[in-house]
Amino acid sequence: MSEYPHGDRSWWQEARFGMFIHWGLYAMPARHEWIRNYEHISNEDYQKYFDRFDPDMYNPAEWARMARAAGMKYVVFTAKHHEGFCMWDSKYTDYKVTNTPCGRDLLRELLEAFRAEGIRTGLYYSLIDWHHPEFTVDDYHPLRDVAEENERNKSRDMSKYAEYMHNQVTELLTEYGKIDVIWFDFSYPQSERGKGHNDWKSEDLIKLIRKLQPDILIDDRLDLPGSADFQSPEQYVPSNGIRNEKGELLPWEGCQTFSGSWGYHRDESSWKNNKMLVEILIRNVSRGGNLLMNVGPTARGYLDHRAVAALDGYAEWMKYHARSIYGCTLAPAEFPEPENCRYTYNPKTNRLYLHLLVWPFKFIHLPNLAGKVEYVQLLTDGSEILFRDSSTAVHMNESAPAGAVSLDLPPIQPNTEIPVIEIFLK
């Protein structure tokens, strides 16, 4: 495996929590960002959205305020998704936001707004492009079933598409200030008529990016082993983190949605509740990962009430518990998690955070911590939690297993989705 230089992951591992934004023309049909694929839509039939794209209520400063309140420290915005539509004023295409009724460079405005809130900025750039004339029709392409379009592949030239991509990436990384993350999506060399690093010219692309922005973080979807700054598991929490063949933990970021689709989907009813959302964040950090949580703004440019409620849920929880997230990672292996609990650990402060997914009755026993604990408090309100290194069973005391520390908890769960107990280790 060849080795590639890496970007600056220190701020990112400290931050742990970011906002993904999927926004493009697909917000108008509002039934999934893959709509062109699902419904086999040609460029001509998709044009009606381009001709009417006009997010009159777009106010990225508001999104940035909500992201900050939710505790999110960075944003990754779809500069271009698979549909090929560009959210910035690119000089390499006419298929861009400034040529729609909107007429503004939405990307530029977004970056300014988020930076003003102290939020780091990243760009999502789709490797796949269903609009570009040189992009060959493959098994994901909206026109995969049209015989003439498949026939026409003979005269399509992917190297011209790669050149277009490299030009656009250069444009984005030179004309929009410092970009902290670039998130490519995605390669599929395994599938029939798939595409991978040869199509994207990934090797050259990586070199180009490192030259333009040496500190930038690059995801793992360029089909170029060794080049990624982080792994990007999607819509699940890896139970043991993401590890290499030797079992060592790799930097990783899980990405997740509130409701299933990434783009705005009006009629989806599979929205996760606030407790699940908080739990996903905790689970990621407890396995040494980040969480990039997605919002899909509406065609008019605002976040709908369900997205706002979900972000508010994060804001409410993070207000009291951010300390168990920022700068935290998985706990030392010698401390196994009790049932229904997740630990996170801050190596700088040497504090262990116990997240109680289910509130226990009266006691909880923490294996292998006897003699190692200095002080314990409920992070939610800073109230002391009494603890014992061992206890003998009398009628009001459950006896703790040898070597465990027993915490004495109030009978009623504190008023928060997932309470956190902060353990100061010796």
Binding site for ligand GLC (CB under 6 A): 22, 33-34, 185-186, 234, 255, 262
Which amino acid is it at 110?
L
CA distance 274 to 212: 40
- In the bound complex, what is the minimum distance in angstroms from residue 27's beta carbon to ligand GLC? 13
- In the bound complex, what is the minimum distance in angstroms from residue 362's beta carbon to ligand GLC? 43
- In the bound complex, what is the minimum distance in angstroms from residue 300's beta carbon to ligand GLC? 21
CA distance 399 to 401: 7
Do residues 274 and 310 make contact, with C-beta atoms less than 8 angstroms apart?
yes
Concatenate the DSSP letters of all residues of 161-202 into one string.
Answer: HHHHHHHHHHHHHHHS----EEEEE---TTSTT---HHHHTH
Name 403's Cβ contacts closer than 8 Å, sequence gap at least 6. 367, 368, 369, 370
Dihedral pair phi/psi, residue 41, rounded to 5°: -90, 130
CB-wise, 83 or 422, nearer to ligand GLC? 83
CB-wise, 307 or 378, nearer to ligand GLC? 307
Could you check whether the bond before residue 335 is cis, i.e. omega within 30 degrees of 0?
no
Strands of the sheet containing 383-384, edge to edge, are 341-346, 351-356, 420-425, 373-378, 383-384
- In the bound complex, what is the minimum distance in angstroms from residue 264's beta carbon to ligand GLC? 12
Among residues 82, 80, 81, which one has the least CA distance to residue 90? Answer: 80
CB-wise, 33 or 417, nearer to ligand GLC? 33
- In the bound complex, what is the minimum distance in angstroms from residue 93's beta carbon to ligand GLC? 20
**Cα Rg of the chain, angstroms:** 24
Q: Which residues of 324-336 are buried (b: 16+ CB within 10 A; e: fewer)?
A: bbbbbbbbeeebe
- In the bound complex, what is the minimum distance in angstroms from residue 83's beta carbon to ligand GLC? 10
CB-wise, 281 or 366, nearer to ligand GLC? 281
Do residues 275 and 417 make contact, with C-beta atoms less than 8 angstroms apart?
yes
CB-wise, 277 or 341, nearer to ligand GLC? 277
- In the bound complex, what is the minimum distance in angstroms from residue 234's beta carbon to ligand GLC? 5
CB-wise, 38 or 424, nearer to ligand GLC? 38
- In the bound complex, what is the minimum distance in angstroms from residue 76's beta carbon to ligand GLC? 9
The two tokens of residue 246 are 């030797």
CB-wise, 34 or 353, nearer to ligand GLC? 34
- In the bound complex, what is the minimum distance in angstroms from residue 386's beta carbon to ligand GLC? 45
Residue 332 region by backbone torsions, left for phi larger than 0, else alpha for psi between -120 and 50, else beta:
beta
Among residues 403, 398, 401, which one has the least CA distance to residue 363? Answer: 398
CB-wise, 128 or 370, nearer to ligand GLC? 128
CB-wise, 80 or 283, nearer to ligand GLC? 80
